[in-house]
């Protein structure tokens, strides 16, 4: 069985003992993935962001409305 592992990890033209564990998973210590349930996100959090950025949102909507209005009024009239 160990011969099969050596054949799977063997790279042509290299030393087998040096390459033996190159393709195996890392054994380094890794930190645990933080739990998603530790902090819940509520609707109030989203509303706070909207209220803090209200002038940015209002400016964007006003710019979009004015641009659409100008392009609509400047377009040639097509009657059928």
Residues 33-46 pLDDT 10s:
666 666 788 899 99
23 within a domain of the structure (yes/no): no
CA distance 43 to 50: 11
52 within a domain of the structure (yes/no): yes
48 within a domain of the structure (yes/no): yes
Per-residue pLDDT tens digits for 4-55: 555 555 555 555 455 555 666 666 766 766 666 667 888 999 999 999 999 9
15 within a domain of the structure (yes/no): no
Residue 66: which domain range?
42-80
74 within a domain of the structure (yes/no): yes
50 within a domain of the structure (yes/no): yes
Residue 25 tokens, joined: 């998973």
The domain total for the chain is 1
17 within a domain of the structure (yes/no): no
73 within a domain of the structure (yes/no): yes
Task: Name the pTM for this structure.
Answer: 0.46
């Amino acid at each position: 069985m160990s011969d099969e592992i050596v054949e799977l990890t063997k790279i042509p033209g290299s030393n087998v003992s040096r390459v033996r564990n190159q393709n195996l998973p890392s054994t380094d210590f890794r930190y645990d993935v933080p739990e998603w349930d530790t902090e819940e996100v509520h609707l109030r959090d989203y509303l706070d962001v909207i209220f803090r950025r209200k002038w940015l949102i209002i400016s964007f909507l006003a710019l979009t409305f004015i641009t659409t209005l100008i392009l609509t009024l400047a377009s040639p009239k097509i009657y059928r």
